[in-house]
Amino acid sequence: MGKLIIIGAGGVGNVVAQKCAREKDVFSKILLASRTKSKCDAIAANIGQPHVTTAKVDADNVQELIQLFKSFKPDMVINVALPYQDLTIMDACLETGVHYLDTANYEPIDVAKFEYSWQWAYQEKFKKAGLMALLGCGFDPGVSGIYTAYALKHHFDEIHYLDIVDCNAGDHGKAFATNFNPEINIREITQKGKYWENGSWKEIDPLSIHLPIEYPNIGPKESYLLYHEELESLVKNIPTIKRARFWMTFGQAYITHLQVLQNIGMTSIKPIKYQGMDIVPLQFLKAVLPEPSELGENYTGETSIGCQIKGVKDGKERSYYVWNNCKHQDAWKDVQGQGVSYTTGVPAMLGAKMMMTGKWMKAGVYNVEECDPDPFMKEIGAYGLPWNEIVNGQLAFDDYK
């Protein structure tokens, strides 16, 4: 049993808090903290358990975080705040002797760029402190890396080709909305795409490569090649990979809205003057778009996220597909959330449980694929994200070389 702080009270924070609150044998006391305490209070009231309390904290302020950590004395922190705040929270963990977990890698607020280098640089600091930092323990990144590690452990001697495929076939009834933080989501989609091939990164124009992919129980959906952060860690930690790509579905209405918003400058992260004040257009856009945490109640349909892999086993070529489908309606029934928040929040809870119970505990900074996938894969289904696999079945791609 141990004490936990969850930082962030959006859609994912709600899922993490509700799921962790049910694991009283692991998380004996939980503090939910955010810049907006009223959001934390609403989640805690919904949980209705005395071991869940709330606090206000500015996660950009290291000293505020240190003060909060010293007061509550947590064993670990789950960071589901903004990626801009990863480093300040890691600094506070080092100062106070607290283990760390997040779901998205750091990116600077003034540059639409994300990579692990900033957090990997903390490796020796966390090792010296005897603390663990687990990076990217959502679904993608997160389960996608665990799926790949599981495939390598049980089905391959070498992985050569990896395609992570992410489909949201749900309908929230809104003209335009993002399923997680709009600012982060749009920054991610509008930057150049990138994939790994033959030892180097290949860069493409945003959304310029796309094709229909067949998703289980959903059918074919137009899928776009993006750069996604787990590609960076997977090709580093599994060096036999010859090519790694990430694909995500978008409907035509979404693409059209996004193109218009780009054309009129609303996705820019460069400040402009408005009535004598500096405002960032993308941050203003975020303020007028629907909150992702408010999409769940009438959300229908399902997500499908998985890994399609090809490599060799015992000298023979082998293909492997492992995936999860999650219905938005089931997520709402379980935690009053939508499926995208659910698929991120549940793995974060389970990753924290793996750390707290010692199954994944080791000093240093690690990505999830560097941990034993078996205990995680054994438990994830019971928490609402069951997985399926096909060995040597038909993959969605016919361009493996």
Show me where the domains of the chain are located. Answer: 2-135, 143-335+382-391
Give the pLDDT confidence score for residue 294 in this predicted structure: 63
Give the pLDDT confidence score for residue 287 in this predicted structure: 75
- Residues 6 or more apart whose Cβ sits within 8 Å of residue 325: 216, 217, 218, 302, 303, 304, 388
Residue 329 contacts residue 300 (beta carbons within 8 Å): yes
Residues in the chain with pLDDT < 70? 110-113, 170, 172-185, 187, 253, 255-257, 260, 264, 286, 288-290, 292-297, 396-401
For residue 192, give the DSSP letter: P
Instruction: Write the pLDDT tens digit of every residue in 192-231.
Output: 899 999 999 999 998 899 999 999 999 999 999 999 999 9
Give the pLDDT confidence score for residue 256 in this predicted structure: 67
Give the pLDDT confidence score for residue 377 in this predicted structure: 98
CA-CA-CA-CA torsion sign (81, 85, 86, 91)? negative
φ, ψ for residue 248, nearest 5 deg:
-140, 145
Distances (CA, A) of 277 to 202, 268, 269, 299, 386: 39, 16, 15, 37, 49
Q: Strand, coil or helix: what is 327? A: strand
- CATH of span 2-135: 3.40.50.720
Give the pLDDT confidence score for residue 250 in this predicted structure: 81
Nearest by Cα to 93 from 358, 363, 370: 363
Give the pLDDT confidence score for residue 260 in this predicted structure: 66
b/e 60-88 (16+ beta carbons within 10 angstroms → b): eebebbbebbeebebbbbbbbbbbbbbbb
CA-to-CA distance for 175 and 197, rounded, in angstroms? Answer: 37
Give the pLDDT confidence score for residue 401 in this predicted structure: 42
- Residues 6 or more apart whose Cβ sits within 8 Å of residue 42: 9
Q: Strand, coil or helix: what is 39? A: helix
The CATH H-level (homologous superfamily) assignment of domain 143-335+382-391 is Dihydrodipicolinate Reductase; domain 2 (3.30.360.10)
Nearest by Cα to 138 from 110, 177, 164: 164
Give the pLDDT confidence score for residue 93 in this predicted structure: 98
CA-to-CA distance for 2 and 361, rounded, in angstroms? Answer: 14
Give the pLDDT confidence score for residue 284 in this predicted structure: 76
Distances (CA, A) of 387 to 328, 348, 350: 16, 17, 15
Torsion region of 245: left, alpha or beta (phi above 0 gives left; psi -120 to 50 gives alpha): beta
- Residues 6 or more apart whose Cβ sits within 8 Å of residue 370: 149, 237
CA-to-CA distance for 216 and 303, rounded, in angstroms? Answer: 10
